[in-house]
Amino acid sequence: MTDTVAELNQVMAEADCLVSEQQVQAAVQSLADDISERLKDTNPLLFCVMNGGLILTGQLLPRLKFPVQAEYLHATRYRQETTGGILEWKLQPEADMNGRTVLIVDDILDEGTTLCAIADYCLAHGAREVLTAVLVDKQHDRKARPGLKADFTGLEVEDRFLFGYGMDYKGYWRNAPGIYAVKGL
């Protein structure tokens, strides 16, 4: 275990801070303002995507200026070399989505396979519309769908291996107080 802690501390010590904690906080406030303006009269159902969306959702909820029903779901994607992305549900949504606006909150839009699959699931289960909010949109051309964008985006960040504010490095450093990139990755 000591080797793991040493490795994790080394990764943080060498990481590049791409976005400071203050910049992240400003982005979260901007997201909250935009979401409040768009959804204040819609009675939305908000889903936090675990585990990555936990920190953003926790900071976003108190800043939303309307009543919101907040739930969570847990879906993950794993890749095999010969297949695209396979969505694995660890906890499917149980709240009634029928006829409602659903807001999915996650940490990052990387390729977007998981976010798209969750949105499709919600639409198939009766959501009137599905909107997405992410803290970070990673800038590259490998999106699951051409031109894929979240409806609400806090920050656009370069295409590197990121951690902090919900994003992890080997399951750790979701708690890092900014957005960091692993050196060399």
State the average pLDDT over residues 13-18: 97
Q: Is the pTM of this model over 0.75?
A: yes
Tokens of 30: 């901007």
Q: Is the pLDDT of residue 84 over 50?
A: no
Residue 97 to residue 126: CA distance in whole angstroms: 6
User: pLDDT tens, 42-78?
Assistant: 999 999 999 999 999 999 999 999 999 999 999 876 5
User: pLDDT tens, 87-142?
Assistant: 788 888 889 999 999 999 999 999 998 899 999 999 999 999 999 999 999 999 99
Tokens 């935009």 label which residue? Answer: 34
What are the CA-CA distances from residue 56 to residues 38, 71, 82, 106, 120 (Å)? 18, 14, 33, 7, 22
What pLDDT, on a 0 to 100 scale, did the predictor assign at position 80?
39
Domain total for the chain?
1
What pLDDT, on a 0 to 100 scale, did the predictor assign at position 1?
58
Q: Is the pLDDT of residue 143 over 80?
A: yes
Instruction: Evaluate whether 163 touches 55 at the Cβ level (below 8 Å).
Output: no
Residue 16 to residue 82: CA distance in whole angstroms: 33
Tokens of 123: 């639409």
Q: Is the pLDDT of residue 83 over 60?
A: no
Contacts of 31 (CB under 8 A, 6+ apart): 56, 60, 133, 135, 152, 153, 154
Which residue range(s) make up the domain with 155?
Answer: 2-181
CATH number (domain holding residue 122):
3.40.50.2020
